[in-house]
Amino acid sequence: MSAEDTTGGGRIMSREAYDVAVVGASIAGCTAATLFAREGARVALIERHADPNAYKALCTHYIQPCAVPTIERLGLAPLIEEAGGIRNGLVMYTRWGWIGGDAEDLPYGYNIRRQTLDPMLRGLAASTPGVEFMPGRSARDLIREDGRVAGVVVRDRAGESHEIPARLVVAADGRSSRIAKIAGGPVEVAPNNRFAYFAHYRDLTLPSGSRSQMWMLEPDVAYTFPNDGGVTLAACMPAKERLPEFKEDLEGAFVRFFEGLPLGPRLSEAQRVSRIMGVVEQANVSRPAARPGLAFVGDAALCSDPLWGVGCGWAFQSAEWLVDETAEALLAGGDLDRALERYRRRHRRELSGHHRLICDFSRVRPYNPVERLMFSAAARDNRSARHFHAFGARIIGVREFLSPRAVGRALWVNARHAARGRAKPGPGPAVARAGR
């Protein structure tokens, strides 16, 4: 802990000025703190939870393959694997059949429970030279100098306020970002017309083996994700018109939902080891990822419908992009605000196309012709399935997903399918093969 002076106003001013004050020690904040410190920055990592083992319970923790390079750069991949994290291949049910059952060697991400991941990440950040971890401190205000953010005011558990001056403040404080509220500024909100419930199970046998399963039921969606500790997470995200059914009898509705799935798991034969958790309101929220002296990473910048399991991966990635765009300016006395503007543009370039499509899908509407084309081709053709997977894994962007070549192949696959007059392939064998 750094030395501190008491100032007249009851606030305690840290004598030490930091290069970076990161608010929030979860995925985005720990990634940013670790990578900034490795570049030589002095980092204050501020977390409102006093317990270093605290974790985000409301998450189904399917980490997309797009985040694996960041996870590897952090040195986290071997730790995740040692802790029993699962390399997460996915097979997806659609009305045209299963996607991905026959595609081998697809890029993988990880399934790892947040109760395992969050303390691991926090330990990594806190043990990185240059990071001063400050648990049990909650960011309450921003310090401003000459119209620019110049640090953060935190309150400790005894109710005392501390000023933490820093050249750069990083808001990694999640979807309800207090820093964003204090800073003001534009925010875009798009409705999400599905709700989510999920629970953890032991001894749940899946026909897909260790692969995750996803059911696209138009409009309802469900998943099973095998995780570390022999625990499988089962989640459903139905359209909101079904909410009264779940409110009336949560456990009954949840189990019935899975019993009705093609090749669904038999929840009643497994042991539920968590309560059934859920979120009824989860609108899509986005805001510009930087302004002078202040950057937003992870959910604080962009919180997309959890249906597509992108938030954890984008929390890792956005923190890495921030460090890569700003560390040099921050540490070599360069133009930090210009570097922050570069980060803002990069964040928008990489993620806004994905986010727009996700927002549109959250409205709950019939599939559009492009979705019908790409889903059906992916269910009928391995090459189209690989392409589809690369998009769902957020390895490629919207433009590449809908490139003339990819759309041309999808049209050809469907034309060939129609010409052969084949019956739709049964879903059973595809999933059974995926499980081998």
Binding site for ligand FAD (CB under 6 A): 23-29, 46-49, 56, 58-63, 138-139, 172-174, 178, 196, 279, 282, 298-300, 306, 309-313, 315
Nearer to ligand FAD, 120 or 312 (CB): 312
Strand partners, 133: 45
CB of 341 to ligand FAD, least distance (A): 21
Are 318 and 298 contacting, i.e. CB atoms less than 8 angstroms apart? yes
Minimum CB separation from ligand FAD for residue 381, in Å?
A: 27
Q: 139 pairs with which residues across the strands? A: 154
* CB closer to ligand FAD out of 283 and 396: 283
Are 4 and 14 within 8 A, CB to CB?
Answer: yes
Tokens of 318: 């956005």
Q: Using CA of residue 363, residue 364, residue 365, residue 366, what is the dihedral sign? A: positive
Residue 171, both tokens: 């808001």
Residue pair 39/69 in contact (Cβ under 8 Å)? The answer is: no
Residue 191 CB: number of other CB atoms within 10 A?
14
Q: CA 403 to CA 411: how far, in whole Å?
A: 12
- For residues 12 and 5, the answer to whether their CB atoms sit within 8 Å is yes
Cβ closest to ligand FAD, residue 117 vs residue 379: 117
Q: What's CA 142's distance to the chain center, in Å? A: 26
**Shortest distance, position 180 Cβ to ligand FAD, whole Å:** 10
Residues in the chain: 436
CA distances (Å), 38 to each of 17, 33, 331, 377, in order? 18, 9, 12, 45
**Smallest distance from ligand FAD to CB 317, Å:** 11
**Residue 7 CB, nearest distance to ligand FAD (Å)?**
21
β-strand partners of 296? 171
Q: Identify whether the C-beta of residue 322 lies closer than 8 Å to the C-beta of residue 168.
A: no
Nearest residue to ligand FAD on Cβ basis: 311
Nearer to ligand FAD, 100 or 392 (CB): 392
128 three-class SS? coil
Backbone angles phi and psi of 132, in degrees to 5: -105, 110
Q: CA-CA distance, 299 to 281, in Å (whole number)?
A: 15
User: Which residues in 172-243 belong to E strands, given as ranges?
Assistant: 188-190, 196-202, 212-216, 221-226, 231-237
Q: Based on CB atoms, which residue is closest to ligand FAD, 282 or 384? A: 282
How far is it, in rounded angstroms, from Cα 226 to Cα 208? Answer: 10
CB of 311 to ligand FAD, least distance (A): 2
Instruction: Return the CA Rg of the chain.
Output: 23
- Distance (Å) of CA 327 to CA 14, 19, 44, 168: 23, 10, 15, 10
Specify the residue, 196 or 339, whose C-beta has the smaller distance to ligand FAD. 196
Phi, psi (5° rounding) for residue 285?
-130, 135
Shortest Cβ distance from residue 382 to ligand FAD (Å)? 25
| Residue closest to 315 by CA, chosen among 84, 53, 22 | 22
CB of 407 to ligand FAD, least distance (A): 27
Q: How far is the CB of 181 from ligand FAD (least distance, A)?
A: 10
Q: How far is the CB of 303 from ligand FAD (least distance, A)?
A: 6
Shortest reach from residue 411's CB to ligand FAD, in Å: 32
Find the farthest-apart pair of alpha carbons in the chain and give their distance in angstroms, rounded.
83
